[in-house]
Structure 1
Amino acid sequence: MLHFFTWQQFLVAAVIFTAVWYLVLALLFFRDKLAALLSGKSKNEQPEKLKREWEEELEGDPEEENDLIGEQAVPEGISEVEAHMLGFAPKVWDEDEADSREVQLGLVPDVLEELKTIFHILENEGGNAEDFVSLFGMVKTKYAGIAGSPNEAAINEYIRENAPFPISDEVLANLWN
């Protein structure tokens, strides 16, 4: 019996049945929206909000503007000041000193990272003070600006504390020369 139908007849019937099916679904589930659309009601009209008993107590309450948690507290030790009250420490060095100081302060963390790498290598390879002096020669040439600076003593103290072997004062004194 199905061989009497052509593909065209089958597709037309399938389209018609599909359209009727979706029309029935639309009428069942979107009946209210379709009625509003056909009657000409505006989409922008919002339904009236239901009032709850406790909402009447809060109407006109001055605390309504504030958050339920309250104002944010400033952390301890911090104060808020106006821009005109903000000031900086006076300059205590001249321009040449300032430039060299900024360069030295920028180099110190780099030197410390290089030293950490050297200490790691020496620790893994079982190096001694002579190996350290030879490896430190590269750091000394790369960061020549540290020699003779006030930061040299702090770097030497770091070397003394973190070296995986005992290091003498004489070796530390001759490191940057």
Structure 2
Amino acid sequence: MIQQITWQTFLVATLVLTVIWYVAIVLLFYRRELFKVLGRGQLGNVNQFKRTEALPHRWEKGVEELSVRGADEEEMELMGKSKLPEGMMMVDSGGFGFAGGEDAREEQVGLVPDVLAEIRSLFAELSRNDLGKRDFLEMMASVRESFPKIASSPNIGRINEFIAEHAPFHLSAEELENLWD
């Protein structure tokens, strides 16, 4: 059957289908521009939604200002104001702090995480080099020298718990206490 189609028939069919395709595209997507070019200007209600003037901006006169709601006013939302989970409340960044004074804040935020990071790196080195308990105790001496204030920290019990949980060998309570002496 394909052998019966000539090149001339093929090219005419291709040309006709191409023209139909582009006419459909122009009529669907470029109707307004086509009628402007043809000189009709409008076709029924095609241009009824076009605005001739721009909307007013907030800096121009005659535009209403939105009122800023205070913290006491309830914000109106579609389904009402969202409720926080029980026991939680919204505070600004200055409304919370750590227990104790400024020294306790520095100790809780800086010293303990630094010591824990150092201990984690010790454990990583122990596992990389396949070292044992004796090597760990020697390495902990350098940690103790680097952080002398940690021995008097109220969080030393939690640090010892962390060491006992993550150490690849057993450490007795006496050995944990002696780490910081």
Calculate the TM-score normalised by the size of structure 2: 0.50
Structure-2 residue corresponding to 1:104: 107
Task: Map 1:1-177; keep pairs closer than 5 Å.
Answer: 28=37, 31-32=40-41, 43-44=52-53, 69-77=78-86, 98-106=101-109, 107-177=111-181
Whole-angstrom distance in 2 between the partners of 1:104 and 1:148: 11
Instruction: Give the aligned residue type for 1:135.
Output: M
Structure 2, unpaired ranges of 5+? 1-33, 43-50, 56-75
Instruction: Give the aligned residue type for 1:141.
Output: E
Deviation at 1:26, TM superposition (A): 8.8
Whole-angstrom distance in 2 between the partners of 1:82 and 1:176: 38
CA contact (8 A) 2:99 2:105 kept: no
Structure having the higher Rg: 1
Instruction: Give the aligned residue type for 2:128.
Output: N
Structure 1, unpaired ranges of 5+? 1-24, 34-41, 47-65
Deviation at 1:146, TM superposition (A): 0.8
Q: Higher helix fraction: Structure 1 or Structure 2? A: 1
Deviation at 1:164, TM superposition (A): 0.7
CA 1:45–1:141 in structure 2 vs 1: closer, same or farther (change >3 Å)? Answer: closer
CA contact (8 A) 2:126 2:136 kept: yes
Whole-angstrom distance in 2 between the partners of 1:142 and 1:174: 16
Calculate the TM-score normalised by the size of structure 1: 0.51
Deviation at 1:134, TM superposition (A): 1.6
Identity %: 30
Report the 3-state secondary structure (helix = DSSP H, G, I; strand = E; otherwise coil) of the residue aligned with 1:77. Answer: coil
